[in-house]
Structure 1
Amino acid sequence: MSINRYRLKHLENEGHSGALRVTKLLDRPDRLIGLILIGNNLVNIAAASVATILCLRLFGDVWGLAIANFGLTFVILIFAEVTPKTVAALHPEKIAFPSSIVLLPLMFLLYPLVYLINGICNGLLMVLRVNPVNNDGKNLSREELRTVVHEAGALIPQKHQEMLVGILDLEKVTAEDIMIPRSEIVSIDINDEWKDIQRQLVNAQHTRVLLYRDSIDDAVGFVHMRDALRLLSKDQFTKASLLRAVREIYYTPESTPLHTLMYQFQAAKERIGLVVDEYGDIQGLVTLEDILEEIIGDFTTSIAPDHSKEANVQQDGSVLVDGSANLRELNKELDWHFPTEGPKTLNGLILEHLEFIPDANISVRIYGYPIEIIEIKDNMVKTVRILPAYYSIPPEEESTKV
């Protein structure tokens, strides 16, 4: 019963004879238990009868019963219960595989008796609304799979463990959690002067740039730098030709889980999309690379600043953080524990807790972290200083203090 079912399945797939026998026995654990206990109880009861008769003849009625009861109990506990079951629990395969050689024929020979006993027991279990053949316990939840991955130790390299856990986490991470915020989307207003558009295209740091008219909510489409270079090489680089080269925009709701979004990208053969809220307003941008980085970590070669550049550790142990920094990225990068169910940025978290736009040089404690507001700009918390070394109050017990 203590054998590792997943290793057993692996050995069964490899054709291991012992694993095949044990799997056959474990298909109906109620019958296996019934078979083992029939033999176990027959032997124990027979031993008790023989010991009682011998002790009564050797030591008389009073002492004979006492010696038989206590002596046989001691012998059975040591040699029939504790010792063999401890060995079996520590080395289940070494015990289970040889035992199955005996148990399978016994199951065949004693099947009528086993069937009768199990029929009575299963009838009682049905009265108690217990299904004796319920195998739901073999399925692992996501959290249980995470534990299995972490407990693998040296069997799975640390990097591979992180990748596997990242895949498991895709289901609970949404497009809103990883998107590039609307204010940080690199985009070009197609109604600008043509020289300004050319200059922005030349200085663009990305292979795809969003074009829009007057407002980013009136998005036209993405232009690929490869298409722009092709037009330039053919002396056809005009605003009209650039508009004809734009690619259709793929939109996705902000609540879309990443594993669903990845499949949608695959089906639509897309690599980039705009994230919209329930009103259809554009909230940000998400790419296939963003999803992959959730699994394997940062790998981009872009010269644009990434989230890790938004946190700078100081000599005194404090950390200067940009207010627009993503909370999930900060938690991953610095092993912090800010909540991620509400606001997605540090600025949003501070404003939600304070319920007003603060001035500079104000300190606040949020979820145990002392935060000093350094700079306010455009009604946003621009820069803060966080002292994680003083984190002492559990987040679930912490309330905002100013």
Structure 2
Amino acid sequence: MNEIPLGLLFGLLALLIVISAFFSSSETSMMALNRYRLRHQAKSGHRGAKRAMELLSRPDKLIGVILIGNNLVNILASVIAGVVFTQLYGDAGVIYATAALTIVILIFAEVTPKTVAALRPEKIAFPASLVLRPLLWLLAPLVWLVSSISNGLARLVGVEASAGNEAEHLAPEELRTVVFESGALLPKKHKGMLLNVLDLDQATVEDIMIPRNEVTGVDLESTGDEILQQLAESSYTRLPVYRGDINRVVGILHLRRAAQILRDGPEAFSAERLQSYTDEPYFVPEATPLPTLLMNFQKKKRRMGLVVDEYGEVMGIVTLEDLLEEIVGDFTTSPVPSEDEEIVADGDDWYLIEGGTSIRDINRTLQWDLPTDGPKTLNGLAMEYLESIPDGNISFYLQDYLVEIVEVSDKMITRARAKKVR
């Protein structure tokens, strides 16, 4: 090698540095590829993505062929650098070669190409796969030997190399982070809907049901005139029908089917006829998760369910509209226009809130973070904290919120003022 011209040796050394940079950038770019984006591109027919996915299906072999090539090139570069500097500086050339080659490889074959590859992984990985795939086939025996020894050592510490074949999965919280970091790729409204869908598993029917004391229904033990007037004035599409008590429900009445009764007038009305127009009631346990409820509504073609507790007592009703509001937010119109809103701004960051307002509704409307793992209403939350029904108007701190009791009945806190203080 001493007879080879220095110019040729320098040229060969530069080529080896370039090849080393290729292997270094290939390793970083392959490992930095977004697996989900890569899978989507491969399904769309992108050839580079398909080649990259094929190589990444066995990361142990991919890393093996890259490191084998990189080390062979760096060792050969070290030998040539030693020869060149020995010819130039004699015995001291070995020291000079070590120092110079270390700096050159570090800057031009490691840090720079790896930085570029980390920032633009697809631009490096896809073209590199054209070289790595045939190289993997060419060096297959050596790669197999190195991978076998490496995988054996990995098993000693509990790592299975074949796990790279398994599909990657995102936990719900990780998926929430992906949605949050989507930035302008997703409209704000769509992002909110996706996050609400992910939150469905954290809520049950009890969290969104209309409580029993607020349920409007038809009592067959009322007079005919009272029932007809209620049907004529009702703003709801569906009403539970019961005898005396909602626990004795006989069916669900769709007002469209009751139109004939209204047309015929009081003379043709009878409780038995009204009952014949009802559908069989659908009962839902209060602990049913919302995703399960949604699937059951879809499967059974239902839009309303009667919520029951473990003793079979009716606790309230839940509708498809209530469930959809958990995903898309409140609808623009309400079936029953109310003179008094449940949450009303009261100046200086205070809000006047009805005691029966759902904690989830308060959090969603005001962007607060009141606890939802206990009582479901503001009244329940306040009484759990106070451990009794207050005798008069008092105030107290509930985590980061100041609550003032405004109105109290014999059985519950009917209205309170609240503001976020921290």
TM-score bracket for the superposition, by shorter chain length: over 0.9
Work out which of the residue numbers 346, 362, 375 in structure 2 matches 1:330.
362
> 1:326 & 1:151 partners in 2: Cα distance?
30
Helix, strand or coil at the partner of 1:134: helix
1:126 aligned to 2:155? yes
- Which residues of structure 2 form unaligned runs of 5+? 1-30
User: Structure 1 residue 343 and structure 2 residue 375: aligned?
Assistant: yes
Q: Deviations over 1:229-258 (max 9, x none)?
A: 122334533222112222211001111111
Structure 2 vs 1, CA of residues 305 and 354 (structure 1 numbering), >3 Å: closer, same or farther? farther
> CA offsets per residue over residues 156-204 of structure 1, 9 Å max, x none?
1111111222222222221111111111111232212222222222221
1:159 aligned partner, one-letter code:
K
The structural deviation recorded for 1:66 is 3.2
**Cα contact 1:228–1:237 (8 A) shared by 2:** no
Change (3 A) 1:214 1:222: same
Contact 2:236 2:335 in 1 (8 A): no
Residue 288 of structure 1 deviates from its aligned partner by: 1.0
Task: Write the letter of the residue equivalent to 1:277.
Answer: D
- The correspondence for 2:79, drawn from 14, 26, 49, is 49
Q: Which of 89, 95, 100 is equivalent to 1:59?
A: 89
Matched, 1:251 2:267: no
Are residues 137 and 60 of structure 1, via their aligned partners in 2, closer, same or farther at CA, if it must alter by over 3 Å?
farther
Indicate conservation of the 8 Å contact 2:55/2:62, yes or no: yes
Asked if 1 retains the 8 angstrom alpha-carbon contact of 2:393 and 2:404, the reply is: yes
Structure ID, larger Rg = 2
Decide which of 279, 282, 286 is 2:311's aligned counterpart. 279
The reply on whether 1:146 has 2:176 as its aligned counterpart is yes
Once residues 36 and 123 of structure 2 are traced to their aligned partners in structure 1, the CA distance between those partners, rounded to angstroms, is: 16
Cα pair 1:142 1:168 within 8 Å, conserved = yes
> Which is worse superposed, 88-97 or 214-223?
214-223
Q: State the shift of 1:137 in Å.
A: 7.1
Distance 1:238 1:284 in 2: 26
The TM-score with structure 1 as length reference comes to 0.92
- Among the aligned pairs, what percent are the same residue? 51
Contiguous gaps of at least 5 residues in structure 1: 392-402
CA shift for structure 1 position 300: 5.8
Per the alignment, residue 187 of structure 1 pairs with: 217
- 1:18 aligned partner, one-letter code: G
What TM-score, normalized by structure 2, do the two folds share? 0.88
Deviation string for 1:335-381 (max 9, x for gaps)?
Answer: 10101011110100011111111123201111121100000013201
Match of 2:365, SS? helix
The 2-side partners of 1:70 and 1:313 are apart by: 72
Instruction: Please name the residue that 2:134 is paired with.
Output: 105
Deviation at 1:22, TM superposition (A): 0.9
1:273 aligns to what SS in structure 2?
A: strand
Task: Tell me if 1:261 matches 2:282.
Answer: no
- Higher normalized contact order (CA 8 Å, seq sep 6+, divided by chain length): 2
Partner of 2:120: 91
Contact 1:205 1:302 in 2 (8 A): no
Q: Say what the alpha-carbon RMSD is for the aligned residues.
A: 1.7
Residue-pair matches, total: 388
SS of the aligned residue for 1:79 comes to helix
Contact 2:216 / 2:240 at 8 angstroms: preserved in 1?
A: yes
Aligned-residue offset at 1:31: 0.4
Partner amino acid, structure 2, of 1:348:
G
CA 1:210/1:300 → structure 2, altered by over 3 Å: closer, same or farther? Answer: farther
2:185 aligned with 1:167 = no
